[in-house]
Structure 1
């Protein structure tokens, strides 16, 4: 119960990796706050957390809106009085049909003897697609971090864990340059803020997951042909996706008082990028 007495906020906590992190925090004794835009999934996850005996506050919040983020933190103050742990997990991911097509072209280029060629993605991307990813994946991290530090710095304690991606440290996200740029910004922001606030006993770190075994990703893989699955597995040395519980265990360490790391960017992609 190493999180006993701590209040932890996990953004995008209603499903997938965010849910796994929230459940891990609950199992370790934290009071858990989850936010998401999916209200039905929020309620489902809230029930799962409370079944573990933890207090849970489930809030609808679009983190790309500073007004909604500020209102959420007011609710946290009213319920728990403060915040000790922030996990910036909420993000848009490239999961539309055109993203799938881009990903297939990219993986084919790196695993098959094809002539060198451009993927022709950036030149065809419109303003709206770029700005949507930036608003959630970068602005949202800033808004939540700013609000969290307004509580953490005066109390002289805090842990912030940003969920970045191997797409932000490698060319593995060449099929999604807008996503890569956003996650790269999160990494740079992590380093800068970590140095800034370490003197207030606030530790800021980031992890860079590779593929995460979520129901959505599993549905995607089920739709692929055996040949496409083989190509996908070639870029993953372990031949499998990382489990939510595996990533959650790492986040739990970074959020604990056993952690001495500051400004670390942890490559947690299962060897996809070494």
Structure 2
């Protein structure tokens, strides 16, 4: 029997990509799911597919950057499913726009091509709006959801929280996105602090800091690169490939369960990049 069998498991940002894969892994292991996202249509499709496989699912549109919406969502979970026992904080803004992709490509070329060293001028040309937009979801939203979950976990002396951080938060390999890196670095620091704070109540808080993830978004970016640029990128990864959604989801399932003694840890599956 899985250690999440019958337990109330929350996944934020569950409509697609890694969040969807984590929800599927928790559901297949017997978890009773509460899923949220701002992508209501895609979330409904994900929930419907899970229900077709016999998984109990509560799905709701929720913008995690809105603390009132978060509190309402968690209150509904407790009322309809019972107290939250596991939370995966997956919702995040990620650099995926044209300007983000241009910076990423410039940085990867800089790392893999012999050329004179210089400043890439990412930070000095960044606007206030660009800097601030990652904090509402990646940091504030993660805090709101963690706070709401702890209010249900602490009285019961049980809980598991898994925060999805990033390689960007503890390495220089995402220098193309200093704003995103800073927000994910905050996730890592928060995980360590809260992990130490609540471990005595049998609430284990840990983080996964993925390297490259084979999401549709990243695969689309790779598809725009010339073959030589793709080869140079994969040369940076000792394993020679991106991590699959299932590999990352399997780790999230493990951390959401009971069969470990991990608290305040940051685990970084990255194919040997760091």
- State the TM-score, normalized to the length of structure 1: 0.98
- Report deviation, 1:52: 2.1
CA RMSD of aligned residues (A): 0.9
User: What is the match of residue 261 of structure 1?
Assistant: 262
**Paired position in structure 1 for 2:71:** 70
Match of 1:13 in 2: 14
Distance of 2:185 and 2:113 partners within structure 1: 28
Q: CA offsets, 1:178-228, max 9 Å, x none?
A: 010000000000000011001111000001101111122212211211121
For each residue in 1:38-92, what CA deviation from the matched residue of structure 2 results, as whole angstroms up to 9, or x when unmatched?
0111011101211221100111111111111111111111211210000000000
Instruction: Assess if the C-alpha contact under 8 Å between 1:34 and 1:57 holds in 2.
Output: yes
Distance 2:257 2:133 in 1: 33
Could you say which residue in structure 2 is the equivalent of 1:217? 218
Work out the number of aligned pairs and report it. 273
Partners of 2:10 and 2:204 lie apart in 1 by 15
Task: Report the 3-state secondary structure (helix = DSSP H, G, I; strand = E; otherwise coil) of the residue aligned with 2:93.
Answer: coil
Within 2, Cα distance between the matches of 1:14 and 1:271? Answer: 29
Q: Distance in 2 between matches of 1:241 and 1:51?
A: 30
Runs of at least 4 residues of structure 1 off by over 6 A? none
Contact 1:14 1:45 in 2 (8 A): yes
Gaps of 5+ in 1: none
- Measure, in 2, the Cα distance between the counterparts of 1:243 and 1:210: 11
Normalising by structure 2, what TM-score? 0.98
The residue that corresponds to 1:88 in the other structure is: 89
SS in 1 for 2:60: strand
CA contact (8 A) 2:22 2:249 kept: yes
| Aligned match of 1:126 | 127
Offset from partner CA, 1:152-199 (integer Å, 9 cap, x none)? 000110000000001111001100000100000000000000110011
- Measure, in 1, the Cα distance between the counterparts of 2:133 and 2:59: 24
2:206 and 2:249 map into 1 onto residues whose CA distance is 14
Residues 12, 35 of structure 1: 8 Å contact kept: yes
Task: Determine if contact 1:23/1:48 at 8 Å carries over to the other structure.
Answer: no
- Corresponding residue number in structure 1 for 2:24: 23
Check conservation: 2:169, 2:182, Cα contact below 8 A: yes
Give per-residue Cα distances to partners, 1:236-264, cap 9 Å, x unaligned.
11121111100011111111110111111
Greater mean deviation of Cα atoms: 141-150 or 236-245: 236-245
In structure 2, how many angstroms separate the alpha carbons of the residues matched to 1:215 and 1:44?
17
Shift of 1:125: 1.0
For structure 2, the residue ranges without an aligned partner over 5 or more in a row are: none
